[in-house]
Amino acid sequence: MSALPFSTTCRHSNSPLHPHSKSNFTGLGQRNNIWQLFVITKSNSRRAIRKLYVKNVASDKTAELKERLIKQGTTSNEFVTDSASVASSIKYHAEFTTSFSPEKFEPSKAYFATAESVRDSLIINWNATYEYYERVNVKQAYYMSMEYLQGRALLNAIGNLQLSGPYAEALKKLGYNLEDVANQEPDAALGNGGLGRLASCFLDSLATLNYPAWGYGLRYRYGLFKQRITKDGQEEVAENWLEMGNPWEIQRNDVSYPVRFYGEVISGPNEAKQWTGGESILAVAYDVPIPGYKTRTTINLRLWSTKVSTEEFDLKAFNTGDHAKAYAAMKNAEKICYILYPGDESIEGKTLRLKQQYTLCSASLQDIIARFEKRSGMTVNWDSLPDKVVVQMNDTHPTLCIPELIRILIDVKGLSWEKAWDITKRTVAYTNHTVLPEALEKWSLTLLQDLLPRHVEIIKRIDEEFTHEIVSEYGTNDLNMLQEKLGKMRILENIELPDSVVEFINNTVLADDPVEEIDVDDNDIKATEKKDNEEENDDDDEEEEDEVGKDEQEADDGEELVVENKKEWKFEVDPNLPMMVRMANLCVVGGFSVNGVAEIHSEIVKEEVFNEFYELWPEKFQNKTNGVTPRRWIRFCNPDLSKIITKWIGTEDWVTDLEKLAVLRKFADNEDLQSEWIESKRRNKINVASFIKEKTGYVVSPDAMFDVQVKRIHEYKRQLLNIMGIVYRYKKMKELSAEERKQLFVPRVCIFGGKAFATYVQAKRIVKFITDVGATVNHDPEIGDLLKVIFVPDYNVSVAEMLIPGSELSQHISTAGMEASGTSNMKFAMNGCVQIGTLDGANVEIREEVGEDNFFLFGARAQEIAGLRKERAEGKFVPDPQFEEVKAYVRSGVFGTYNYDELMGSLEGNEGYGRADYFLVGKDFPSYLECQEEVDKAYRDQKKWTRMSILNTAGSYKFSSDRTIHEYARDIWRIEPVVLP
């Protein structure tokens, strides 16, 4: 394994990975040849060195300057500031390290050469960061996430390094435009939605704020999927983001850990056990540098890929023609990291998902422990692990960190159960991201037992100890109440209580019950005794022995009668329901901190989702409202607006101190600022219109309002409410004359984007519905530019970076109480986009910060939802006539021949799965229409609208991920910034 984290991938004794290595970067030798700064793997050929020096070195003077600056420890942007040096570096990589033909210098080759040039600068800071962390042995946070939705890295990296100018000039000299080159980069397909985007924002803030941290994830070969929109709706195809390679990652062939599945558990000495047999794979590390903004700190995202050793290839089977058998083990290992969230409708799919989660947890924890031991030196004090390591589980996917850490500490390191459990509870923390019951992960106990037998033993013991704690807390006076508490709080669901718990409860109940006294006549007792004595005298020895046995049996029978007359309490289980392991409960029990991600969400977590746990451990629960990085989400994606902000605030410090945006409030009515603001927004809208034409073929007018809803397609996010509102708008337009339409309706371009999970049928119906409405509306000559409906295919970070700066209204309209936070709402607010939404997730706090008058609010409140669903179930709900009108219009076939009965049917009825309008689209529909009328009215007054836009940006300062990370570091992780000397 690695002794130092950032090294070349060779195994030589002089490698930085070797314990006695003195340097962790190949190019930091004593020679003054500048080419060494950019070489990762050196050739021993004298001829090659001479050729490289002649072709790529600007001057000896520059080389000497760079070498001197490296020795002084200055930042990379201080020694690569001129475009000539940058161009030299790009040309070197184009010739020597790129995987393209030498005779061409096409855009894709230019991108790779440029990215590799930037990576060289990152590696110097990258190595310096962790060499210093190793030396001072700081406490480090490890962020564990199944998703990292990073987006493109090139512009972000050179922006953080303050090298945008030199790289733009260098590429211009080489015949390319920086933006065109950057567009050659595919989005890293490592995430799906807000969970992964949040994780990436956090890494950016951690690096920028100089916090010692490290991210862990999986390297998905095909990501989630690439979305295509056809006449049939959404079509999924494999993502090809790694097809040309990834210039940002460094494969660590010498950093790998075994991960086991199946097998059996053999008891060992003390409490340790040996997990043997089964299936074993290797998790191999791929490292990606994450640079901070205007700082040398560059942290690491370590991604795991899976494989097996070469010996697993069955050469004999291959040679006999059984090719599938020959490489079965290899494919079985590799497929673990093929797809993000593989379909889990089948047992094979569920098994694969569980393998993914355990691979992330096991490989990462083995790596963390190895790093802790290395830093500890000769003597390892395991009690100090929580003082040096904190593991943050991003949602429930990494829950297996808890039993895996215990397993390593007991079975591998020889600690006792008590010590291992105590250390784990002080090391691991949990972020909850959902209140949806189906998203609170549960796994089949049978599947877990089969795949991870040792971990089930550990989980059962945790459950047993925690069950005793529940019984101790609530007592046995009210057994019905105890049954309810156990049913909600146990880690194991629908599983008999451990014998020790049952015995304790029954013994307690028996001990507490009074003994019933029975009145008996003394004469009867004497008569019985006399009769017995007479019988004893007449019996021989054998008969006497028989009588004694009979008496003992009668005594036993008497005892049994006593027990049978007592009530033995049993924990109720349903034999028709599966036995499950509740991962969220395990997170709460095994973690020292539980946090929600918005104020309203954290309250729901405490009052509803985990109320019993909150009552037991109120000190565990916190709120950490999400945030997004202002570097990517204003500074880099919206440079036009950024210049205006800097001009009016008077400093660019807002990029790392977003509270300075509040200064804009005093200029909100300034006509000059408003004029600049409107012009900037229009330029961004023109860019969006061009993008839409390229991606969909539709032509839209930049004079119309750009109304955007981009996020994962889900019923609770209510894209259906949005499109039903658009259908109503379209129907009313069709009923009016051309002149009346122009008077009553503000022109709108309604833009949708997002992916429906491949097996989520209802979500895919919604995508189909949106695209069908668009196909009808967009080709209606009567409507023209008054209304357009656009579905942008394959929504990702790069698409968001294009759409958000040009948006004017954004929709965050989830059913109240169901969105944990949301982060796209924060990005829109930062870019001066006015929002329409419910009081859900971070909307509540955004509305507070930007001002109630600058947020369009509608819909039922979170505390009303349960009552409204109950009203529906009782048949008391009266649907709005406008809503019924829209449903009938859809069913009339105006949007094509597709049968929308199932989709419309989900909004009808009073109960049943997939019916009864569970997400209250119909209930909120009239309120939504009224609110949209207010939107039209406000937009007609462009001065008022622009003021609202400015105040949205000014009020978005709270939603920087820098603020969020400061709170995590202070309140949960207990880590301090570490600035490199």
SS (H, E, C) 696-750: HCCCCCCCCEEEEEECCCCHHHCHHHHHHHHHHHHHHHHCCCHHHHHHHCCCEEE
Phi-psi region of 2 (alpha: psi -120 to 50; beta: other; left: phi over 0): beta
3-class state of residue 267 by DSSP: strand
The amino acid present at 730, given as its one-letter code, is Y
Q: What whole-number percentage of the chain has pLDDT above 70?
A: 86
Residue 710, both tokens: 């981009």
Which pLDDT does position 104 carry in this prediction? 84
Tell me what pLDDT residue 92 has.
92
The strand order across the sheet containing 140-144 reads: 250-261, 279-291, 298-307, 213-218, 140-144, 389-394, 428-431, 594-596, 621-623
Does the structure show a pLDDT above 50 at 920? yes
Written as one string, the DSSP assignment of 737-785 is -HHHHHHH---EEEEEE----TT-HHHHHHHHHHHHHHHHHTT-TTTGG
Residues 259-306: tens digit of each pLDDT:
999 999 999 777 789 999 999 999 999 999 999 999 999 999 999 999
Q: In the prediction, which pLDDT does 517 show? A: 42
DSSP 453: H
Q: What is the rounded average pLDDT for all residues in the chain?
A: 88
Provide mean pLDDT across the span 508-519: 54
Residue 462 backbone phi and psi in degrees, to 5: -60, -45
Dump the DSSP string for 551-583. Answer: HHHHHHHHHHHHHHHSPPP-----TTS--EEEH
- pLDDT at position 572: 82
Band (513; pLDDT cuts 50, 70, 90) = low
Angle between helices 107-136 and 164-173 (to 10 degrees): 150
Q: What is the pLDDT of residue 44?
A: 38
CB distance 261 to 279 below 8 Å? yes
Which positions are catalytic? 433, 711-712, 717, 823, 827
Over residues 499-517, mean pLDDT:
72
Residue 143, pLDDT > 90, answer yes
Give the tens place of pLDDT for each residue, 622-643.
999 999 999 999 999 999 999 9
pLDDT value at 932 more than 50: yes
pLDDT value of position 649: 97
Which of these, 570, 392, 555, lies nearest to 498 by C-alpha position? Answer: 570
- Assess whether pLDDT exceeds 90 at residue 535: no
Q: Return the SS3 of 659.
A: helix
- What are the structure tokens assigned to 779, written together? 């080709």
* The residue to which tokens 């309604």 are assigned: 750
pLDDT of res. 512: 54
Q: pLDDT tens for residues 331-367?
A: 999 999 999 999 888 999 999 999 999 999 999 999 9
Contact 825, 812 (CB under 8 A): yes
**C-beta of residue 79 within 8 angstroms of C-beta of residue 50:** no
Mean pLDDT of 874-886: 96
Return left, alpha or beta for 269; rule: phi > 0 is left, psi -120 to 50 is alpha, else beta: beta
pLDDT value at residue 648: 98
| Average pLDDT of the residues in 500-522 | 65
Query: Which helix (H) or strand (E) is 943 found in, with range?
Result: helix 942-954
pLDDT of residue 21 exceeding 50, the answer is no
31 vs 264 pLDDT, higher one: 264
The residue-averaged pLDDT of 771-792 equals: 98
Torsion-angle region of 812 (φ positive above 0: left; ψ -120 to 50: alpha; else: beta): beta
Q: What is the per-residue pLDDT across 199-216, written as a single tens digit (0 to 9) for each?
A: 999 999 999 999 999 999
CA 502 to chain centre: 39
**Tokens 């001066």 -> residue:** 832
| Spatial distance between the Cα atoms of 917 and 930, rounded to a whole number of angstroms | 20
pLDDT of residue 700: 98
Q: What mean pLDDT do residues 887-911 have?
A: 96
Question: Residue 414 — left, alpha, or beta (φ > 0 → left; ψ -120 to 50 → alpha)?
Answer: left
What residue ranges define each of the domains in the chain, with the CATH number in brackets? 81-136+153-184 (no CATH), 637-959 (3.40.50.2000)
Q: What is the pLDDT of residue 510?
A: 61
**What is the pLDDT at residue 511?**
60
* Pair 440, 396: CB distance under 8 Å: yes
Q: With 90 as the cut, is the pLDDT of residue 603 above it?
A: yes
Is a pLDDT exceeding 70 seen at residue 228?
yes
Residue 168 has pLDDT above 90, yes or no: yes
Question: pTM of the prediction?
Answer: 0.87
**Strand boundaries in 451-560, DSSP class E:** 492-493
Q: H or E element: which one contains 899? A: none
Whether the predicted pLDDT of 71 surpasses 90: no
In tens, the pLDDT along 688-729 reads 999 999 999 999 999 999 999 999 999 999 999 999 999 999
The residues pairing with 288 across neighbouring beta strands, listed in sequence order, are 301
551 pLDDT more than 50: no
Q: What is the pLDDT of residue 313?
A: 84
Rounded CA separation 909/873 (Å): 8
484 pLDDT higher than 50: yes
Is 320's pLDDT higher than 60? yes
Distance from chain centroid for Cα 316: 43
The three-state secondary structure class of 227 is strand
How many whole angstroms separate alpha carbon 788 and alpha carbon 44? Answer: 63
CB 286 within 8 A of CB 249: yes
Q: Assess whether pLDDT exceeds 50 at residue 142.
A: yes
Confidence at residue 270, expressed as pLDDT on a 0 to 100 scale? 77
Instruction: Indicate the range of 82-91, 549-558, 738-747 predicted with least confidence.
Output: 549-558
Q: List the beta strands (DSSP E) in 583-691.
A: 594-596, 621-623
| Helix (H/G/I), strand (E/B), else coil: 236 | strand
Q: In this structure, what token pair is assigned to residue 274?
A: 């040996």
Alpha helix stretches (DSSP H) within 209-274: none
Q: Residue length, the chain?
A: 981
More confident site: 314 or 545: 314
Residues 6+ apart with CB under 8 A from 563: none
Residue 672 scores a pLDDT above 60? yes
Contacts of 571 (CB under 8 A, 6+ apart): 483, 486, 496, 497, 502
pLDDT of residue 69: 37
**CA-based Rg of the chain, rounded to a whole angstrom?**
33
Inter-CA distances, 261 with 273, 365, 398, 435, Å: 15, 16, 16, 31
Above pLDDT 90, what percent of the chain? 78
CB 629 within 8 A of CB 875: no
